[in-house]
Structure 1
Amino acid sequence: MTTPVLAIENLTVSFRADGQWRPVVQDLSFMVNERETLAVVGESGSGKSVTALSIMRLLPLAQSRVEGRIALDGRDLPPLSEGEMRRVRGNEIAMIFQEPMTSLNPVLTVGFQVAEALIYHRGLARAQAEADALRLFDRVRIPAAKSRFHEYPHRFSGGMRQRVMIAMALACRPRLLIADEPTTALDVTIQAQILELVKMLQEEEGMSVLFITHDMGVVAEIADRVVVMHRGRAVEQGETTRLFTQAQAPYTRALLAAVPRLGSMEGQSRPLRFPVVDTATGESDTPSPTPDTVDPADRPLLEVAGLVTRFDMRSGLLSRVTGRVHAVEDVSFALRKGETLALVGESGCGKSTTGRSILRLVPPSGGRILFEGTDIATLDRRGLVAMRRRMQMIFQDPFASLNPRKRVGAALAEPIVVHGLAGREEARARVAELLRRVGLDPAMAERFPHEFSGGQRQRLCIARALALEPRLIVADEAVSALDVSVKAQVLNLMLDLQAELGLAYLFISHDIAVVERVSHRVAVMYMGEIVEIGPRAAIFGDARHPYTRRLMAAVPVPDPRRGRIRRGLDADEIRSPIRAPDFTPPPRRYTEVSPGHVVQDWGTERERLPA
């Protein structure tokens, strides 16, 4: 029997809290074999990342205790001295972290940082290390690698920064690569590129991979075997296809049931609630469509016509305008009461700027925005404040949008009092009702934001958005950072509130599978423009624009029986929206291919689209 590359036996990891050792990983055992990809899957707090940090010996010594056996090629790692362990890290085990921007030094060029690993571990001279680092950049398909070698991390997109981290991890040809949620914060197309890159390099180098994720679609595409973790323990492990088709543990079945699947809405005319899963039994209900609250005869609640938002770029002693970011260019759509219009596209396409422009959180450069028939561009400060009572926004990061020094009850009551809707005593009663409405205990009003989980904080942000009884809510990536089961709970809450209150949602997201489930209509954005818009069934059943089809093709499907999809490695990034000050966008032509389904003519614009 061959020795596994990595063997974990009875691993228990504890942290000191209030003078006691509290276990966060308990009695965990698994192995990673030669050239194998093992996925460790579970929700936040399940112990996945702590397990990876224990293998690398990166936990704080004073506050952590690691028990059990961790062996690399049969060699026990815990007894090694720190000097010996430093030689193991990078040389024999490499790790890619979830957020590359926090893993790269912002004051050093990316080329210098990769070359530094080669100098330290392989003893190369600076010139030789830089030459080898440049070859690594070419291998991970960084475009124009030679010209970008001496650039700083902030000049790279998220996907390209993750490629730099992969190049650094591969610098010394490690036996084992640990990838800790390397695609969680990335757009679906960039995620597909990174997964393809990892698979390709694994085949070339003969590496073993320990892949940590909470996305079952990613697991189906990349893993040979799976370990499912819940509350610090392995509840199930086995070969990927068997686990997806014959899962035994209730928690595994619950995870699989909560995953939104592209194509699951075929035959459905209205948004569909997500299945509510009991993690104790793994059983789920049969989700029902939401009530039809959209009346096509109503005048649109929101009308956007020819919206343009540009940002000046200034430089030089006199701060002259040397360029403009064309963030939003000639965007038009309408949104009715009780309707959800989804804006989808990659980071940098103008989705969030569109939402912020509608609320005048950023000033539009042109176009008209009518809300309830009123042009918001004509409103003074007082009129805009009054208008925003009926237009609210849910931001992507709930922790950043809550005051960490203010109790959540006070944060929810503040807009009610400021807008004169109630006195302080009555506001407290309304806060209690708001918390009940979003599924939280009213007693939680006395807590601070850091005392809540990510899903609970997002519920608080929804409660705050509802405090002023709005008619329109702009949800900007409101569930993108949440685990799959928490995401399902929050989305069900939003659908229920829409049915109850007749809310209109502008739902901004890059998660295509979620968009299919919650939307009435979909608008696809690329380079600040809407390239395709129409009813959900028309977009997902008959996508016409190449960019729309590209987005859908990149969605990972949680079904390993389809076999490993090899899409081919694409190094394209979304094009830069920066233009010269005197640039005038060319006129666009649109074709209505079916009622309400409009597609931008791309025949003369192929150079703008990624390959």
Structure 2
Amino acid sequence: MTDTAKRPVLSVENLTTSFKTAEGWRAVIRDINVEVNAGETVAIVGESGSGKSVTALSTMRLLPAGRARCEGRILLEGRDLLKASEAEMRSVRGGTIGMIFQEPMTSLNPVFTIGNQIAEALVLHRDLSWKAAEAEALRLMERVRIPAAKSRLNEYPHKFSGGMRQRVMIAMALACRPKLLIADEPTTALDVTVQAEILHLLRELQREENMGVLFITHDMGVVAEVADRTLVMFRGDMVETGPTPQIFAAPKAVYTRALLASIPRLGTMGDAAAPRRFPDVDPATGKASDGRVTSPVPGGVTPILKVEKLAVRFALPQGQIHAVEDVSFDLKPGETLALVGESGCGKSTTGRAIMRLVDPSAGSITVDGQDVAKASSGALRAMRRTSQMIFQDPFASLNPRITIGSAIAEPMLAHGLISRREAKERVAELLQQVGLSAAMADRHPHEFSGGQRQRISIARAIALQPKLIVADEAVSALDVSVKAQVSNLLLDLQEQHRLAYLFISHDMAVVERMSHRVAVMFLGEIVEIGPRAAIFDNPQHAYTRRLISAVPIPDPARRGQLNPPLNEEIKSPLRPHGYVPPKRTYREVSPGHFVQEAAA
């Protein structure tokens, strides 16, 4: 590296950021020091609430004026941004510093086309004519490998998948050739295959531009893959910083050791037939005990769920979306079947069809002997006691206007299981069962962290004592240690109540620990299904192998082992009217392990 490359692009010195409260100013991050050199990636890691994003927003001066106060120095190529005027900061944002936000759909303007939004930044910062800016916007879209970029330039954000929207955000962030890129959780909600492509893309563009990158994440596998140096934060403080290989090999801080011990790692299950709890981490030492294996599913038990030849199709003027096609499986009491695959493969639609939140187009769904697909509204209401759903976003699924005690009691009262007088005591029991205090019943959803809200959603789901729970990405957005706690809670509840879980997820490392069996979906069809060990140790379908190989390994020594990206977008499930799907055949590889045979 040359002397120029070694010079810091960004130097944050003794940064303390405070927010104004009723009691006065309260510091949320304290004495943060971090440097990012040209061509270098520095990761900031920690749980939600540790101050990662506040550090990034302070650097960009995006915190609300009058409500937030930053002290210390933020030097961008030697210039202190805390002393810059707002007009100067407007030229810095999107110009010298690019930023990729965590949720691209809320960062893109829904009423403007993608091309318009990229071109706007070019006109503002690079003084291009509108025509030249549109031509450059097209070049940028092609550079981030958006298929058919020319035809998609005039489309709106809602027509793009999550992975494509994130590529658009990268194109916008890099439009003005920034010296520094701040990437705030850019891959957290993405499927592993899309995440692998985004990481490849960022690394490639960084090399071309010799750009410094500040990468904010809670995914230690991603840190191991991309970061040269790592800063660990906990409750607003820096607890450890150093070269990434050193942080992973010999962490000094107890919190860092606990964070690394909580990481789910592929290949740690051996041939165990049942799920394995996540390790219990000792907060005093950061050491982890090996998580115990849970109970296997008893043989010869009648399935609680039976899905046969399920199809879900959505009519459009130009054809039909074949979201789910010819899907069949069963699920026994006390068993977890994981449903995995990319966004758009039909996982969530399958779960929602089982709950009759969408109507099936064909096939049958039997829950505890009752046909869900043909049930009347009254029969469906009674069946809600047997099957419940845990949604990915607990905040969106909880009513913000009512207390969590009322939210948990509501289904029990609606089904006449308890009286209002008994509700308080039952709610207290349920809260304690999911590791929360009974005193929390009078609080509203906004007063809880993401992990606590997910526990509340679990309490509400088990309130009716169901036999089946559809868990749709129930832990995917949680921090690594919270993810371990919530996953262990689900396993404990399964053992206590013999719950059956349809566990919908794209996190392959969590799936390996949580499931008895795994079904892999691609373009609405199950392409492989079998016992967990068979799927992970002997994957037969090319798509299954691609999913497993795309998981980042939390070991810097094995950096660069992600498969090179496939420069293609997942095929469209849109078919012309009158389309007849081909008849699929399956080959049995080993007992219970089936793989879809290639079409003739």
3-state DSSP of counterpart to 2:373: helix
Distance, in Å, in 2 between the alignment partners of 1:323 and 1:590 is 28
Quote the residue 2:168 is aligned against: 164
Of 366, 371, 374, which residue of structure 1 is paired with 2:367?
371
Identity %: 65
Of 113, 120, 135, which residue of structure 1 is paired with 2:117?
113
Q: Which string of whole-angstrom CA distances, capped at 9 and with x for unpartnered residues, describes residues 115-171 of structure 1?
A: 111111111111111112211112111111111111111111111111111111111
Quote the residue 2:301 is aligned against: 298
Letter in 2 for 1:108: F
Quote the residue 2:330 is aligned against: 334
Q: Which string of whole-angstrom CA distances, capped at 9 and with x for unpartnered residues, describes residues 523-545 of structure 1?
A: 00111110000000000000000
Quote the residue 2:426 is aligned against: 430
Of 39, 43, 48, which residue of structure 2 is paired with 1:44?
48
Which one is further off, 127-136 or 502-511?
127-136
Verify the 8 A CA contact 2:147 2:569 in the aligned structure 1. Answer: no
Verify the 8 A CA contact 1:6 1:70 in the aligned structure 2. Answer: yes
Aligned pairs for 1:411-490 within 5 A: 411-490=407-486
Quote the residue 1:140 is aligned against: 144
Distance, in Å, in 1 between the alignment partners of 2:422 and 2:579 is 54
3-state DSSP of counterpart to 2:293: coil
> Residues 357 and 206 (structure 1 numbering): CA distance in 2 closer, same or farther, change over 3 Å?
same
Deviation at 1:283, TM superposition (A): 2.2
Of 218, 231, 238, which residue of structure 2 is paired with 1:234?
238
Deviation at 1:291, TM superposition (A): 2.0
Distance, in Å, in 2 between the alignment partners of 1:221 and 1:599 is 31
Does 1:530 pair with 2:526?
Answer: yes
Quote the residue 1:78 is aligned against: 82
Deviation at 1:580, TM superposition (A): 1.6
Distance, in Å, in 1 between the alignment partners of 2:251 and 2:549 is 27
Of 119, 124, 128, which residue of structure 1 is paired with 2:128?
124
Letter in 2 for 1:499: E
Which one is further off, 332-341 or 267-276?
267-276
Deviation at 1:280, TM superposition (A): 4.1
Verify the 8 A CA contact 2:549 2:562 in the aligned structure 1. Answer: no
Distance, in Å, in 2 between the alignment partners of 1:236 and 1:412 is 40
Quote the residue 2:207 is aligned against: 203
Quote the residue 1:92 is aligned against: 96
Which one is further off, 508-517 or 378-387?
378-387
Deviation at 1:67, TM superposition (A): 0.3
Quote the residue 1:501 is aligned against: 497
Verify the 8 A CA contact 2:432 2:438 in the aligned structure 1. Answer: yes
Verify the 8 A CA contact 1:3 1:74 in the aligned structure 2. Answer: no
Letter in 2 for 1:243: I
Deviation at 1:37, TM superposition (A): 0.5
Deviation at 1:344, TM superposition (A): 0.4
Verify the 8 A CA contact 2:337 2:503 in the aligned structure 1. Answer: yes
Deviation at 1:81, TM superposition (A): 1.2
Aligned pairs for 1:192-591 within 5 A: 192-292=196-296, 294-314=297-317, 322-565=318-561, 567-591=563-587
Deviation at 1:380, TM superposition (A): 2.0
3-state DSSP of counterpart to 1:265: coil
Deviation at 1:551, TM superposition (A): 0.6
Distance, in Å, in 2 between the alignment partners of 1:430 and 1:402 is 19
Distance, in Å, in 2 between the alignment partners of 1:573 and 1:564 is 22
Q: Which string of whole-angstrom CA distances, capped at 9 and with x for unpartnered residues, describes residues 508-567 of structure 1?
A: 111111000010000001111100000000000000001101111111110001132363
Deviation at 1:378, TM superposition (A): 3.5
Verify the 8 A CA contact 1:196 1:567 in the aligned structure 2. Answer: no
Quote the residue 1:53 is aligned against: 57
Verify the 8 A CA contact 1:142 1:571 in the aligned structure 2. Answer: no
Verify the 8 A CA contact 2:368 2:386 in the aligned structure 1. Answer: no
Distance, in Å, in 1 between the alignment partners of 2:590 and 2:549 is 22
Distance, in Å, in 2 between the alignment partners of 1:27 and 1:473 is 45
Of 14, 19, 24, which residue of structure 2 is paired with 1:15?
19
Verify the 8 A CA contact 1:43 1:214 in the aligned structure 2. Answer: yes
> Residues 137 and 379 (structure 1 numbering): CA distance in 2 closer, same or farther, change over 3 Å?
closer
Distance, in Å, in 1 between the alignment partners of 2:564 and 2:548 is 15
3-state DSSP of counterpart to 2:8: coil
3-state DSSP of counterpart to 1:489: helix
Deviation at 1:603, TM superposition (A): 5.1
Which one is further off, 572-581 or 443-452?
572-581
3-state DSSP of counterpart to 2:491: helix
Distance, in Å, in 2 between the alignment partners of 1:73 and 1:492 is 47
3-state DSSP of counterpart to 1:204: helix
Does 1:189 pair with 2:185?
Answer: no
RMSD of aligned alpha carbons: 1.3
Distance, in Å, in 2 between the alignment partners of 1:21 and 1:335 is 54
Distance, in Å, in 2 between the alignment partners of 1:152 and 1:376 is 37
3-state DSSP of counterpart to 2:321: strand
Verify the 8 A CA contact 2:46 2:233 in the aligned structure 1. Answer: yes
Distance, in Å, in 2 between the alignment partners of 1:603 and 1:245 is 47
Distance, in Å, in 2 between the alignment partners of 1:379 and 1:567 is 46
Q: Which string of whole-angstrom CA distances, capped at 9 and with x for unpartnered residues, describes residues 473-528 of structure 1?
A: 11111111111111110110000011111111010111111000010000001111
3-state DSSP of counterpart to 2:394: coil
Letter in 1 for 2:370: T
Distance, in Å, in 2 between the alignment partners of 1:257 and 1:438 is 22
Distance, in Å, in 2 between the alignment partners of 1:147 and 1:313 is 20
Verify the 8 A CA contact 2:551 2:562 in the aligned structure 1. Answer: no
Quote the residue 1:68 is aligned against: 72
Q: Which string of whole-angstrom CA distances, capped at 9 and with x for unpartnered residues, describes residues 239-279 of structure 1?
A: 01111010011111111111111111123221000012234
Letter in 1 for 2:485: Q
Deviation at 1:375, TM superposition (A): 2.0
Deviation at 1:357, TM superposition (A): 0.9
Verify the 8 A CA contact 1:545 1:602 in the aligned structure 2. Answer: no
Deviation at 1:19, TM superposition (A): 4.5
Letter in 1 for 2:503: F
Letter in 1 for 2:71: E
Verify the 8 A CA contact 2:314 2:323 in the aligned structure 1. Answer: yes
Verify the 8 A CA contact 2:550 2:562 in the aligned structure 1. Answer: no
3-state DSSP of counterpart to 2:83: coil
Deviation at 1:227, TM superposition (A): 0.3
TM-score, structure 1 length as denominator?
0.96
Distance, in Å, in 1 between the alignment partners of 2:492 and 2:400 is 29
Verify the 8 A CA contact 2:273 2:531 in the aligned structure 1. Answer: no
Distance, in Å, in 1 between the alignment partners of 2:372 and 2:37 is 61
Q: Which string of whole-angstrom CA distances, capped at 9 and with x for unpartnered residues, describes residues 168-194 of structure 1?
A: 111121111111111111111111111
Of 153, 158, 162, which residue of structure 2 is paired with 1:154?
158
Which one is further off, 503-512 or 577-586?
577-586
Distance, in Å, in 2 between the alignment partners of 1:507 and 1:199 is 33
Verify the 8 A CA contact 2:469 2:499 in the aligned structure 1. Answer: yes
